[in-house]
Amino acid sequence: MYHYLSAPPADADIYRRDLSVSPESFAAHLDRLQSEGYTTVSLYAVIDALQRGAPLPDKPIVITFDDGYRDNYANAFPLLRARNMSATIFVVTDFIDEQRPEYLTWDMAREMLHAGISIESHGRNHFSLAGQDDDYLVWQALGSLETIEYELGVRPRFVSYPAGEYDQRTIDIFHSANYWAGLTTQQGASLNSAQPFELPRIRVRGDATPDDLIRLLSLDW
């Protein structure tokens, strides 16, 4: 799980530094993944494998980005495309609609989608999805889904819970809105078909080396 794909500004706080991976580091991560035999796959392929037994390549990996920052397009996208690797970007739809300069535009998202990058939901406004009533959760689930479908012509099937905050009501509402799975911020690399709305991920911190990444992927989660 990545966030920013750029060097943090000089005055960045500890959180921004932790969430920022430089393009040079990301390129090194991708090269190491390929040299170790990993193959990027989509979340759609993972769900097909978990629920229907569809085959996956040896050492499959899903690369995800949360929030949909513009540097995902400027810096990550060219590096992925040059290596014929895929990724999934979870976007905050209101931020794109508001044309916030730090975030993707719909044209950028559309270009990446056509090149094999999946665009999925991170909610409408990055507010917590835990402890909320049904109306609010429906507004988040359907609002982000309908916006992505309108702008990109594809219906998102996956949600990444903002800040990893969710509860059983969140799961129930997103499931009823025809989402297929939810991604958490819980650390882990093993997927469980019995809990598709609580899929774990590995957070890639700003100072993570290629060795760190391979070590995390090799742990018995």
List pLDDT tens digits, range 141-194.
999 999 999 999 999 999 999 999 999 999 999 999 999 999 999 999 877 777
**Nearest CA to 206 among 68, 64, 9, 3?**
3
Domains (ranges, CATH) in the chain?
Answer: 14-218 (3.20.20.370)
Looking at every residue in the chain, the average pLDDT score rounds to 97
Q: Which residues contact 102 (CB under 8 A, 6 or more apart)?
A: 69, 70
Structure confidence at residue 22 (pLDDT): 97
Burial class of 203 by CB neighbour count within 10 A (0 to 12, 13 to 18, 19+): middle
Give the mean model confidence (pLDDT) for residues 40-50: 97
pLDDT for the residue 195: 93
Mean pLDDT in residue range 40-69? 96
How far apart, in Å, are the Cα atoms of 207 and each of 49, 86, 164?
32, 23, 21
Query: Could you give the strand order of the β-sheet that contains 181-187, starting from the edge strand earlier in sequence?
Result: 64-67, 88-91, 118-121, 158-160, 181-187, 199-201
Residue 205 has pLDDT above 70, yes or no: yes
pLDDT at position 193 is 75
The pLDDT tens digits for 112-137 are 999 999 999 999 999 999 999 999 99
Prediction pTM value: 0.96
If DSSP codes are grouped into helix, strand and coil, which group holds residue 104?
coil
C-alpha 68/C-alpha 73 separation (Å) is 9
Percent of the chain scored above 70 by pLDDT? 100
The rounded distance, in Å, linking the Cα atoms of 91 and 66 is 7
Say if CB 158 and CB 120 are below 8 A apart: yes
User: CA-to-CA distance for 181 and 70, rounded, in angstroms?
Assistant: 25
pLDDT at residue 194, rounded to an integer = 78
pLDDT higher than 80, residue 20:
yes
- Report the pLDDT value the prediction gives residue 221, as an integer from 0 to 100: 59
- Tell me the pLDDT band of 46, cut-offs 50, 70 and 90: very high
